[in-house]
Amino acid sequence: MDNKIQVPTTEELDVELKEWLESLDYVLDRRTPDQVQTLMRHLQIRAEQAGIDPPFTVTTPYFNTIPRHQQPAFPGNREIERRIKSLVRWNAMAMVTRANRDEDGIGGHISTFASSATLYDVGWNHFFQCANEHHTGDQIFYQGHAAPGMYARAFVEGRLNEDDLKNFRRELADGGGLSSYPHPWLMPDFWQFPTVSMGLGPINSVYQARFNRYLTDRGIKDLSTSRVWAFLGDGEMDEPECPAAIATAGREKLDNLIFVVNCNLQRLDGPVRGNSKIIQEFDGLFRGAGWNVIKVVWGDDWDPLLEKDTEGLLAKRMNEVVDGQYQKYTVSDGAFIRQDFFGTDPNLLKMVEHLSDEQLQKMRRGGHDPEKIYAAYKAAIEHQGAPTVILAKTIKGYGMGEAGEGKNITHQQKKLNEEELSAFRSRFGIPISDEEVTKAPFYRPPQDSIEMKYLHERRQSLGGYTPSRNNQTEPLAAVPTELFEEFKEGSGERLISTTMAFVRILTKLLQDKEIGKLIVPIIPDEARTFGMDSLFRQFGIYSHVGQLYEPVDREMLSYYKEATNGQILEEGITETGSIASFIAAGTAYSTHGINTIPFFIYYSMFGLQRVGDSVWLAGDIRAKGFLIGGTAGRTTLNGEGLQHEDGNSHLLAYPVPNLMAYDPAFAFEIAVIVRDGIRRMYVEQEDIFYYLTVENDPYPMVTMPAGVEAGILKGLYKLKASTQKRAKLKAQLFGMGAILNKTLEAQKILAEKYKVAADVWSITSFKELHNDGLDTDRWNRLHPGEEPRQSYIETSLKDEKGVFVIASDYVKALPESIARWFPKMPISLGTDGFGRSDSREALRDFFEVDARHITLATLNALAAEGQIDIQVVKDAMQDLEIDAEKTNPRLV
């Protein structure tokens, strides 16, 4: 120990502490909070300079961030609002109970909304702004399985009727029903944001807030007064998208974003963090990420106790009890709470000696106290410079009593029995008689009641009713056609990849006077990979703060230019974040009445495979735009190997019903597809979106043959007929993407060496052909005895002679899926198996999709039909140097 330091006595330390506290009290009385903060920061710096690690933690104490004396006056009528909220609670519970009485196991949730009713109610009465002529409106992400509460509220508002509620989860009933969860696909006038796949609501809401800002900063639409509210579960925050979302929102300082986390301490199976405290964990997480954190832990009956707690005993006790034990208090009586919680210290016991056991048991948590919630929301909307999270402590299954309040089984509780119904009715004062209550009738007060007048007045002052979705938008006038013209010409000898061709199309779209500003390029750190870096300077990379540094490549033509009005969303390495941007941009037509056209360009292997659930959501939410899978194909990407070489994504595109999937081979194919896509999505307003793969294999782009546009869009057209008019042996070769070239090479070999006249066809979409075939079959099945319809493949190939071979750079399941409609069984070549790093040539030999293997497959098929001798095939194998014992690429 430094000998300058004398060991102090306890008394000396006490005096010292007192003096310091008095100094602090002095400034607390006379200075603003900001000034006090500055002072303390200086003290901290001085201590740090002296090598002292300051004892400040990333979490704050376990009580409300806003103390009672800072709470604003509550502007509403508490009593009327309580009655409205109770009615909504009742109808939500009754709807789920009745659905499950009528059909055991139909499901639904009672306990989630029971815990969050106050969180929504305060929003509906005082905050959630709808779009009208004065306001651009808020976007509200409702927690997915709290949906019964939103339906019940809409019923009380008169927006849904009894039949709707009766048909909750019975969408196939006469007249339709209510979807289980928020699905714009199923209820396009009602639900705006799908949220029930946990984790996607949080991340999508963040990127929605960011996109609102992007539109504002680019001067496209001023959304500076719009807020994004996301209502989330505490269990849901375990999904890895959540920390990602939190980091992004903090970094971007999205003060137009408010998270409300319903901390009912429980998830599906049990406690979220039985052994610690989830609110404290979130406190640290969000604060660390730069958020404004507002904790609403305790209701107002705790205020007098906390104000008496000058020694900090209660605060200490609140902080040491873990969530599992708090949950235990929910299901315990007051005597237990007195003994277990307060009984650890005689002074604590003294603090509550004036309260009865019953009063102790009823002491509310913050998330059930409308005034505390109001204070938190008001502070949230006023906060500037950072997003706000409200951590509201609630009770799962609040009001369900014996049926599940705070119990571990509460999430699965789908109905209340007769006794529980009566108890619920009485607890919330619902005007339903004893005789009626067991039927769980829905209840809406008369139109001229105080409750109804109040409710409508509140909503009208906030611009309308929510949730609701705008399903009618002004379409785009027309698609500019000239800009696509140049792509009909081939590139002559010049070698061009489809990626390069796509980038050229995108650039021209961006430059277009009419729709250029609506194009939103989205890239997760791959612009250079796709040769798009030239767009940086031309169109700028979006950054709310512009560019605060001088980029190292400032001297270069295509320097890294960030700008407040930048058009490109360069997202960093996050496909999940990028697709969230895609969804926000692709739904702006509905959310903001703006036809932004997103192009999200990424490594195709990190798309449907990695963010498949978000793509599913994009379908549900009716997002529009283009997903561009770059570097596609198992053999087209030189050297990258197992992780990057994609032979799967087109198969993964099959299940998303409104996703159009194409793998174009030439610039003109891309141009035709993109032009028609914009027309269908933005002029005709079809609720579809596009997946296009592009490749980086350079080859000559051929000139567009006449009259093939319709075929390109339908998925198949004849590219190049054989010139061997008199040959007896015939074959039809089908290729896709970069492998189409191999088919063209095989056409030559077959003609020159084996006298086979082969026609070459381009398949642009297996999925389109497959769907067309399925729809044709279905029609025929349902119309026996009528003239059968023919699929597009059947019509296209009915007069074609010879054998059929299909080759692509994807798994063989794709050609196999369309084989049934061919005049005879085709042979499928494809790239099943893990990728390898090697040259394209070596890979195409390995996976058996090069011209040699296409030739061999054709000869095999001819021999099988007895058109040529088997010896010809054997000789060909020698000529083509194909080893019969080569490894099977599917298995290694």
For residues 579 and 629, give the distance between their C-alpha atoms in angstroms, rounded to a whole number. 12
* 362: enclosing H helix or E strand: helix 357-362
Q: Lay out the site mask for ligand TPP across 623-652 (x = CB under 6 A, - = otherwise).
A: ------------------------------
Q: Are 519 and 509 in contact (CB under 8 A)?
A: yes
Bridge partners for 807 per DSSP: 735, 829
DSSP E strand boundaries for 396-505: 495-496
For residues 44 and 766, give the distance between their C-alpha atoms in angstroms, rounded to a whole number. 65
Amino acid (one-letter) located at 7: V
For residues 504 and 6, give the distance between their C-alpha atoms in angstroms, rounded to a whole number. 77
196 binds ligand TPP (CB under 6 A): yes
DSSP E strand boundaries for 119-256: 139-141, 228-233
- The phi and psi torsions of 542 (rounded to 5 degrees) equal -65, 130
The stretch among 232-240, 509-517, 635-643, 670-678 that binds ligand TPP (CB under 6 A) is: 232-240
Residue 262: CB minimum distance to ligand TPP, A? 5
Residue 421: CB minimum distance to ligand TPP, A? 22
466 binds ligand TPP (CB under 6 A): no
Residue 294: CB minimum distance to Mg ion, A? 18
Nearer CB in complex with ligand TPP: 206/242: 242
Instruction: From 484, 500, 313, 414, select the one nearest 107 (Cα to Cα).
Output: 414
The stretch among 18-26, 266-274, 489-497, 673-681 that binds Mg ion (CB under 5 A) is: 266-274
For residues 226 and 81, give the distance between their C-alpha atoms in angstroms, rounded to a whole number. 25
Residue 626 CB contacts under 8 Å (≥ 6 apart), including other chains? 597, 598, 599, 600, 674, 677, 689, 690, 691, 692
Instruction: From 771, 739, 691, 768, select the one nearest 841 (Cα to Cα).
Output: 739
DSSP E strand boundaries for 473-585: 495-496, 519-523, 541-542, 562-563, 569-570
234 binds Mg ion (CB under 5 A): yes
Nearer CB in complex with ligand TPP: 396/844: 396
- The phi and psi torsions of 132 (rounded to 5 degrees) equal -155, -165
Instruction: From 537, 534, 612, 527, select the one nearest 573 (Cα to Cα).
Output: 527
Task: Name the DSSP class of 831.
Answer: -
Nearer CB in complex with ligand TPP: 334/367: 367
Amino acid (one-letter) located at 483: L
The option from ligand TPP, Mg ion, none interacting with 624 (CB < 5 to 8 A, set by class) reads: none
- Selected from 267, 295, 365, 767, the binder of ligand TPP by CB under 6 A is 267
For residues 140 and 694, give the distance between their C-alpha atoms in angstroms, rounded to a whole number. 36
The option from Mg ion, ligand TPP, none interacting with 236 (CB < 5 to 8 A, set by class) reads: ligand TPP
The option from ligand TPP, Mg ion, none interacting with 658 (CB < 5 to 8 A, set by class) reads: none
Nearer CB in complex with Mg ion: 235/521: 235
235 binds ligand TPP (CB under 6 A): yes
- Selected from 235, 250, 366, 387, the binder of Mg ion by CB under 5 A is 235
Under rule CB under 6 A, which residues in 581-620 are in contact with ligand TPP?
Answer: none
- Selected from 198, 380, 421, 749, the binder of ligand TPP by CB under 6 A is 198
- Selected from 81, 138, 236, 405, the binder of ligand TPP by CB under 6 A is 236
273 binds ligand TPP (CB under 6 A): no
* 95: enclosing H helix or E strand: helix 78-102
The stretch among 194-202, 351-359, 572-580, 839-847 that binds ligand TPP (CB under 6 A) is: 194-202
Nearer CB in complex with ligand TPP: 236/570: 236
- Selected from 192, 264, 466, 636, the binder of Mg ion by CB under 5 A is 264
Residue 649 CB contacts under 8 Å (≥ 6 apart), including other chains? 604, 605, 607, 608, 609, 629, 632, 691, 693, 810
How many residues bind Mg ion, per CB under 5 A? 5
CA-based angle 409:411:413, to the nearest 5?
A: 70
How many other C-beta atoms are found inside a 10 Å radius of the C-beta of residue 885? 5
197 binds ligand TPP (CB under 6 A): yes
364 binds ligand TPP (CB under 6 A): no
- Selected from 182, 201, 233, 367, the binder of Mg ion by CB under 5 A is 233
Q: Lay out the site mask for ligand TPP across 404-443 (x = CB under 6 A, - = otherwise).
A: -------x--------------------------------
Instruction: From 79, 114, 73, 74, select the one nearest 94 (Cα to Cα).
Output: 114
The stretch among 228-236, 557-565, 725-733, 835-843 that binds ligand TPP (CB under 6 A) is: 228-236
- Selected from 396, 650, 675, 730, the binder of ligand TPP by CB under 6 A is 396
Assign 626 to helix, strand or coil. Answer: strand
For residues 789 and 529, give the distance between their C-alpha atoms in angstroms, rounded to a whole number. 46
Nearer CB in complex with ligand TPP: 122/510: 122
How many other C-beta atoms are found inside a 10 Å radius of the C-beta of residue 72? 12
Residue 259: CB minimum distance to ligand TPP, A? 13
Residue 552: CB minimum distance to ligand TPP, A? 41
405 binds Mg ion (CB under 5 A): no
- Selected from 85, 145, 153, 836, the binder of ligand TPP by CB under 6 A is 145
Nearer CB in complex with ligand TPP: 93/849: 93
Residue 312 CB contacts under 8 Å (≥ 6 apart), including other chains? none
CA 383 to chain centre: 26
Residue 200: CB minimum distance to ligand TPP, A? 8
Residue 327: CB minimum distance to Mg ion, A? 11
264 binds ligand TPP (CB under 6 A): yes
CA-based angle 87:91:95, to the nearest 5?
A: 175
Bridge partners for 390 per DSSP: 260, 294
- Map tokens 């619920």 to a residue: 424
- The phi and psi torsions of 428 (rounded to 5 degrees) equal -100, 5
The option from Mg ion, ligand TPP, none interacting with 809 (CB < 5 to 8 A, set by class) reads: none
For residues 214 and 209, give the distance between their C-alpha atoms in angstroms, rounded to a whole number. 9
Query: Parallel, antiparallel, or unpaired: how do β-strands 659-662 and 139-141 relate?
Result: unpaired
The stretch among 265-273, 596-604, 756-764, 814-822 that binds Mg ion (CB under 5 A) is: 265-273
Instruction: From 773, 856, 846, select the one nearest 809 (Cα to Cα).
Output: 846
Residue 411: CB minimum distance to Mg ion, A? 8
- Selected from 167, 266, 497, 507, the binder of ligand TPP by CB under 6 A is 266
Nearer CB in complex with ligand TPP: 109/852: 109
The stretch among 261-269, 488-496, 584-592, 671-679 that binds Mg ion (CB under 5 A) is: 261-269
Nearer CB in complex with Mg ion: 264/330: 264
Residue 329: CB minimum distance to ligand TPP, A? 17
Q: Which residues are at the interface with Mg ion (CB under 5 A)?
A: 233-235, 264, 266
Q: Which residues are at the interface with ligand TPP (CB under 6 A)?
A: 112, 145, 196-199, 233-236, 262, 264, 266-268, 272, 396, 411
